[in-house]
Structure 1
């Protein structure tokens, strides 16, 4: 559910039309995106926009109750993984609602993206910098 103002029309529409438990994938520049899922491609060049910038904006716009992350992210890109966890913790503190974190293999993650309402592609080039947001409710 939408919480504030977002400039990107496609992302704003997506957030405004989310229902409880709908999923959105935010991914790095290399994640394969299923043909049957809506692609919102923000990537301009390597690193722009970054995964964490995109995560931060999406957290400011929508209530999230759970995330799904690839297990490989923890060991291959630990700094980016920790930064994601910090963003999630900060959102929990702002909203007063907890965010459940589930880890799956990268292969399972890629299959799970098929259930997303949309995949938001960033310019991020950090391996496994991907997350699936599960929409919560603001009440």
Structure 2
């Protein structure tokens, strides 16, 4: 039995299979998930698990070189934006219109759906290379 890191077998498998520049999405309860993209649904109740809790867990197990958020996060969920900026200080953070963000999710290896019920609490994480 695995004793540390991501215990969710679906997430653990996705992270293990990522190659350089592959992406995953951490999404709030409302983000549409494109057909054909693996959906890992963690939502239990509104707010649980939270966006931050989920991002923290994934970031501890994934080498991340780039972040993409929706531009609308700046005006509609500045708390989440500040969290992302602080969490990934020094990492390339790109903002794009929400409609483009949704298009980018079509290339993701998986969308991890949280219970977060705040607007635009979504992020695309691009895998980097970890050489230890």
Q: Place the TM-score, normalised by the shorter chain, in its bin.
A: over 0.9
Tell me the distance in 2 between the aligned counterparts of 1:56 and 1:107: 25
**Structure 2 partner of 1:55:** 55
Say if 2:99 is the partner of 1:99: no
Say if 2:116 is the partner of 1:124: yes
**Structure 1 partner of 2:87:** 87
**Structure 1 partner of 2:19:** 19
Say if 2:111 is the partner of 1:111: no
Deviations 1:64-108 (A, max 9, x none): 00011100001111112101221212xxxxxxxx42111100000
Tell me the distance in 1 between the aligned counterparts of 2:130 and 2:107: 22
Kindly indicate which of the two structures has a greater share of residues assigned to helix.
1
Say if 2:129 is the partner of 1:137: yes
User: What is the TM-score when the length of structure 2 is the normalising length?
Assistant: 0.94
**Structure 1 partner of 2:39:** 39
Partner of 1:57, secondary structure, is helix
Partner of 2:31, secondary structure, is coil
Unaligned stretches of 5+ in structure 2?
none
Aligned residue pairs, count: 128
Say if 2:27 is the partner of 1:7: no
Q: Considering only aligned residues, what root-mean-square deviation do their CA atoms show, in Å?
A: 1.0
Unaligned stretches of 5+ in structure 1?
90-97
User: What is the TM-score when the length of structure 1 is the normalising length?
Assistant: 0.89
Partner of 1:86, secondary structure, is helix
